[in-house]
Amino acid sequence: MNSLSKDQIHFIDNYLENSDVLYADIRMEMVDHVGSAIEKQMKLQKTEDFYSVFKDYMVASKANLLENNKKFLRDVDKGIFKRLFRLLSKPRAIIAFILLVFISYKVMTINGHNSIVDIFYWFPNASIVPFLILYFVMLKVFKLSRFSGVERLVFVYMVFFQLLNLLRILFRGYFNSETANYVIISVVVSTMILIPIVLLQLTYHIMNQYRLKYKSI
């Protein structure tokens, strides 16, 4: 007995996928771990019975493997949020925010606040489009697998999408009033523009990182 065959590896991979280990990066590592453990056990027991060794291993270790999966997903989510806040607190993002506030304020003083309020209505919905394009390009053109960092971005997008919509609902009445303060409108609109742009930048970073890390696949 040397190493497991392609079919046996495929069997482990399928088993883990059916056990809700959905993302390729974490499953790949688990498949190797389980495969190595089974190879060692088969060697020790001097047996060729892969399925019996696999069954015994899973009885003993499945809970641990799935715990690893849960922790992994929690860490991925935390990691994405951390990176997003790091990007938002960078001088470049702060300067961009100040510029956006300044530009939108100037536009309103020239054309009135209705010209800016339009952005306020369509931007959150429109911001999802570039993400979908990038996701499609990475998956189809670069043949990127279902990696956790990429797929969990959808969750982050949904959180911010809801937040931006909440802002929109909260400020809708105020924005339509004649007494609306231009500085407040500028700050809210700039926030709604900046967050999706930074999210998109993060999406590109994460996807590119996977593309480079797994280029040998």
Q: Decide if residue 123 touches other proteins (CB under 8 A).
A: no
d(CA 56, CA 60): 6
Candidates 4-12, 156-164, 170-178, 182-190: pick the segment binding other proteins (CB under 8 A). Answer: 4-12
Tell which positions 168-187 bind other proteins, by CB under 8 A. Answer: none
d(CA 172, CA 68): 44
Minimal distance in Å, beta carbon 200 to other proteins?
Answer: 21
- Taking a C-beta distance cutoff of 8 angstroms, is the pair 25, 144 a contact? no
Q: Considering beta carbons, is residue 33 or 152 the nearer one to other proteins?
A: 33
d(CA 185, CA 180): 7
Strands (DSSP E) contained in 80-205 are none
Minimal distance in Å, beta carbon 192 to other proteins?
Answer: 29
Q: Decide if residue 205 touches other proteins (CB under 8 A).
A: no
Q: Considering beta carbons, is residue 31 or 199 the nearer one to other proteins?
A: 31
Q: Considering beta carbons, is residue 17 or 107 the nearer one to other proteins?
A: 17
First CA to last CA distance, the chain: 26
Residue of 60, 81, 98, 83 whose CA lies nearest to 194: 98
**Long-range contacts made by residues 182-187, C-beta under 8 angstroms, separation at least 24?**
182/105, 182/108, 182/109, 182/113, 183/101, 183/105, 185/104, 185/108, 185/113, 185/116, 185/117, 185/120, 186/100, 186/101, 186/102, 186/104, 186/105, 186/108, 186/116, 187/101
Out of 19, 41, 68, 191, the residue judged to bind other proteins by CB under 8 A: 68
Out of 72, 81, 182, 204, the residue judged to bind other proteins by CB under 8 A: 72
Q: Decide if residue 75 touches other proteins (CB under 8 A).
A: yes
Site string for other proteins, 21-60 (x = CB under 8 A): -----x-xxxxxx-xxx--x--------------------
What does the binding site for other proteins look like in residue numbers (CB under 8 A)? 3-6, 9, 26, 28-33, 35-37, 40, 61, 64-65, 67-68, 71-72, 75, 79, 213-214, 216-217
